[in-house]
Chain A
Amino acid sequence: MNDLVEVRAGVYRDSVSLMRVSRALTARPWVSVALVAMATALNVEMARDLGFAVPGTATPGDLLVAIRAGSADELADAAADLERHLAERGSAAGSGGARTEGARPGGTLPRTVRSAARTAQASAAPATPATLALVSVPGEHAFAEAMDAVAAGLSVMIFSDNMPIEQEILLKDRARERGVLVMGPDCGTAVIGGAGLGFANVLRPGPVGVVAASGTGAQQVTSLLDLAGVGVGHVLGVGGRDLSAEVGGRSTIQALRALDADPATELIVLISKPPAPEVARAVRDLSLTKPIVAALLGPGQDDLTAAAAKVLSTLGVPVPGWPHWPAPRPLSGGGPLRGLYCGGTLCTEAELITRAMPARETAEFTDFGADEYTRGRAHPMIDPALRLEALAAVDRGVVLLDVVLGHGADPDPAASLAPGLARAAARGVAAVVALVGTDGDPQGLRAQAARLNEAGAAVFTSNAAAARHAARLAVPLTGGAV
């Protein structure tokens, strides 16, 4: 056994970047373990449980490296590979980065949003001044960076989750005073002036403006609009809690007013779970000048696909048949329904739809994007490991999954998912995939659909259609396959 254990004092990388490094090293032949992570108590304990002799001096501000390889040569190669990966990131964020404009004399990068805003504001043309900030540091530290943005007069998207609600309320109040918008916390997607932030589909520009308390909900509606040929100007996320009684729709109200005042926006879509009644009242009382289509996901409400259709008819655009690819071989029906989701809203929508349909054996849904699954690891749209494990454990019945394309998401989700789907099909499990994306997405909607389909899955661009299909499969018509 050849072990490399190192604690690098004061070296910091974000958890997603480190996970990618760990994964790349583990993929090397003869490397049995590669743990490259910040030396938190949890990670140190994990390394020690694996038998690595981690020095007692490690603190959470240090980088922990623990690699185990079959031979000394393999270990040396893995170590060299590690340096290459770490250096890669260093240059991307450093002065050599093609589009990173924060570099300054002395080679130092700004260390806070405050400093970055000052740099970006001061830097002479050709650079445009900073217009907004995207914060994705761990949630307990997000407040400081978001506060910097607001103080500098910038709108801010807070991708981070786990921010205390009182901090959210305070930020949103300060933002209103400054005439800027706080999107989030836990805001997964936004599109501002053509730039996709977080998990964002590539959308054609157009007359629709979206205000969304739900990231994947917004991605579903805007992707369907795009497939129907209708473009989107801005998608303003507001964070999942914004329409709660506590937060009171602070950002939603601001975002609706801003889109109402935006000359390029003709119609506004509001996507959320049903708001608290007093918040719903406040939103209704806004007296906006532009038509508004509400997609409020809940019992008795339109599903997201129906909301997209309503937008199209309001604009006078015919509603197309949503692209789908039937399973290459008929799927056998019956058995329990297992929903394995990345997108929280998509998961809720699928659950609502299947619960409203005739009873079946059992239906169990898991949202792998929920906080309890993302603490200390990346979102399942980036790191599929947990969901793949769950898929491998399904041995009968019907499995329903979402695959979300776009910037920020897994660059090739079919690569890891298709083999798992094929194995599930071999076990007699019927697989249904809701594929959320557009033709412009870097992964390619149709290429991904084809590979998932070849693996045996029925693929739908409408999550609602996928859920209905899966539910029907789970309750077989008397006497045979569907």
Chain B
Amino acid sequence: MTLSMLNGEPHVITVGAEILGEALDRQAVPRTGVDWRPPMAGVAADVLAGVLADPRRERANETAVGRLVSARPRLVGVRPAREVLGLEPGTFFHAGPPITWDRASGPMRGALIGAMLFEGLARTPEEAEAALAAATGPDGGAGSGRGVTLDSCHHHRTVGPMAGVVSPSMWMLEVADDEHGGTAYCSLNEGLGKVLRYGAYGPEVIDRLRWMGEVLGPVLRAALERCGPIDLRSLTAQALQMGDELHNRNRAATSLLVREIAPAVVEAAPDRAAEVLRFINGNDHFFLNAGMAAAKVSADAARNVPGSSLVVAMARNGTDFGIQISGLGDRWFTGPAGVPDGLYLGAYGPADANPDIGDSTITETTGLGGFAMAAAPAIVRFVGGDVADAVTATTSMYEITLAEHPAYQIPGLGFRGTPVGIDVTLVARTGLLPVVNTGIAGRVAGTGQVGAGLVSPPAEAFTTALEALAGALNSP
């Protein structure tokens, strides 16, 4: 055999005792130093080594992240949830890992109350609360007659921003992955201010949801039928080069979407076109929900690869922050949701903030949002930082990800692909938690957005996932 290191100039990667690196410096040997730290607290060395030794891991992760970045999400339709998700009256999906009413936070409760009112299942908020307090999970719902059932969006190829509540009469964006054949859904974005996803359930919120069901949804459906599917991978790639990071800034992507769809809206519904386009145009985040469905369908393509330590979902329900791992099926690994650190609107402060909430972390799961902060200098001050912080946030995420996205590039980093595909073992080794860039919901139902900032997932979600990967090795 031959060893390539015996030929040519040595270049040494050094990790550990600095003195050994300095000895190479004195010999003028080129080297790349590693800024090593001990693993995250709570990570046992033998557990980590066991997972790293899994002979399937390397190939499995390549396969999983390869699927994630090769997904070709296209917006193919807009349809009511009852039709596409088979949602029965009294069943509600919500953001994050599964949660029960008694543990639900203010905005989650408010959104569920609003959905009950919207569906006509309660006449008053009090009546809605009483029914919701008796709600069961998806497994306990059978035979419970007209009772209320709660389940996680993620269990149904669906994602929802903030409270993420989905009820049968809501209209959903339908996104198909042309590469792997998957489909994912997300509701239509209501805009800012008093909105259901932040837990508001006043009459104006319900009225807007009705208008979205009666006008916005059907018009968008008709428009899409005219113009055909919209390539979300291409829109996302363009928006990144126009200053969006696709979680907290969607202004460019929304504009591009309007450009794509406006003529078809006018043709499909000339009488309603102005109000529909005005609504979309008035909401910089209109694209977010389409982007989230695109992210969801991409992440789902990477699911269920045995031995893979890739994170395929990060989601919060306002109480818990949960993650799912490709090699571990539908199990959730959770920890308490943190309160984001950022800037507050008006007179709001940290005391008004709800713990982290929403499925929008599916954007970070697929290398956007906080991971693409370096692409969005325009919003760095909004989340409480400067441009250098944004670049640091993105570059640090390369340390915990498996790949660089081939299509999603960051101009300011020399068109380097976004860091994509979080590996639990890399999080455990480096102690670097995913950077999540998020809106902050008021803790009192219906307050709406009180700020925006960065939030760290709980470390124990990752350490328990790592232990489960190790456990799965011992129980074939």
Contact = CB atoms under 8 A, between A and B. Distances in A.
Contacts of A145: 15-16, 34, 36
B18 interface: yes
B172 to A, nearest CB: 38
Contacts of A193: 5-10
Contact of B396 (A99, A108, A198): A108
B30 A134 contact: no
Given A100-B32, A407-B23, A111 B3 contact: no
Given A159-B16, A170-B53, A196-B23, A141 B34 contact: no
Contact of B35 (A93, A98, A149, A179): A93
B2 A61 contact: no
Contacts of B48: 144
Nearest to B18: A17
Given A112-B34, A145-B34, A167-B49, A258 B430 contact: no
Contacts of A234: 6
Given A110-B399, A144-B429, A261 B1 contact: yes
B36 A134 contact: no
Q: Is the interface of A mostly helix, strand, loop or mixed?
A: mixed
Select the residue from A97, A129, A131 with max chain B CB neighbours within 10 A.
A131
Interface stretch (A113-121, A317-325, A348-356): A113-121
A177 B9 CA distance: 24
B25 to A, nearest CB: 5
Interface in A75-90: 89
Contact of B1 (A89, A105, A254): A254
B378 interface: no
Interface in A137-193: 137-138, 140-141, 143-145, 147, 149, 151, 154-155, 159-160, 164, 167, 170, 179-181, 192-193
B365 interface: no
Given A110-B399, A135-B16, A141-B39, A116 B388 contact: no
Contacts of B23: 196, 200, 407-408
Residue from the set A97, A106, A196 with the largest chain B CB neighbour count within 10 Å: A106
A106 B34 contact: no
Contacts, number: 250
Given A102-B33, A106-B394, A111-B399, A194 B10 contact: yes
B418 to A, nearest CB: 14
Contacts of A106: 374, 388, 391-392, 394-396
B32 A120 contact: yes
A127 to B, nearest CB: 6
A181 B3 contact: yes
Contact of B20 (A20, A107, A159, A262): A159
Contacts of B18: 13-14, 16-17, 89, 92-93
A120 B9 CA distance: 14
Contacts of A140: 45
A8 B414 CA distance: 35
B41 A155 contact: no
B12 interface: yes
A119 B431 CA distance: 20
Contacts of A259: 6
B11 interface: yes
Contacts of B392: 106-108
Nearest to B390: A106
Interface residues of A, number: 88
A155 B3 contact: yes
Given A17-B19, A133-B13, A408-B20, A128 B34 contact: no
Contacts of A109: 33-35
Nearest to B392: A106
B27 A195 contact: yes
A59 interface: yes
B10 A116 contact: no
A42 B30 CA distance: 36
A144 B374 CA distance: 29
A131 B431 contact: no
Contacts of A14: 16-18, 36
A56 B28 CA distance: 44
Given A16-B19, A106-B396, A143-B49, A258 B1 contact: yes
A254 to B, nearest CB: 6
Given A155-B3, A192-B5, A134 B15 contact: yes
Contacts of A194: 10, 27
Interface in A373-425: 378, 382, 407-408
Contact of B19 (A119, A258, A408): A408
Interface string B34-53: 11111101000110110011
Given A99-B30, A106-B391, A109-B35, A132 B12 contact: yes
Residue of B13, B35, B53, B396 with most partner-chain A CB within 10 A: B13
A138 to B, nearest CB: 8
A223 interface: no
B470 to A, nearest CB: 13
A179 B20 contact: no
Contacts of B11: 101, 120, 127-131
A131 B8 contact: yes
Contacts of B473: none
Nearest to B38: A61
A12 B425 CA distance: 20
Nearest to B388: A106
A282 B196 CA distance: 73
Contacts of B33: 93, 97, 100, 102, 109-110, 116
Nearest to A137: B16
A408 B5 CA distance: 21
5 contacts: A131-B9, A131-B11, A131-B12, A140-B45, A196-B23
Interface of B: 1-39, 41, 45-46, 48-49, 52-53, 58, 374, 388, 391-392, 394-396, 398-399, 413-414, 425-426, 429-432
Given A10-B431, A106-B374, A120-B32, 5 more contacts: A99-B29, A102-B35, A105-B413, A130-B12, A196-B23
10 closest cross-chain pairs (CB), A and B: A136-B16, A106-B395, A109-B35, A140-B45, A407-B23, A102-B32, A133-B13, A106-B391, A137-B16, A195-B10
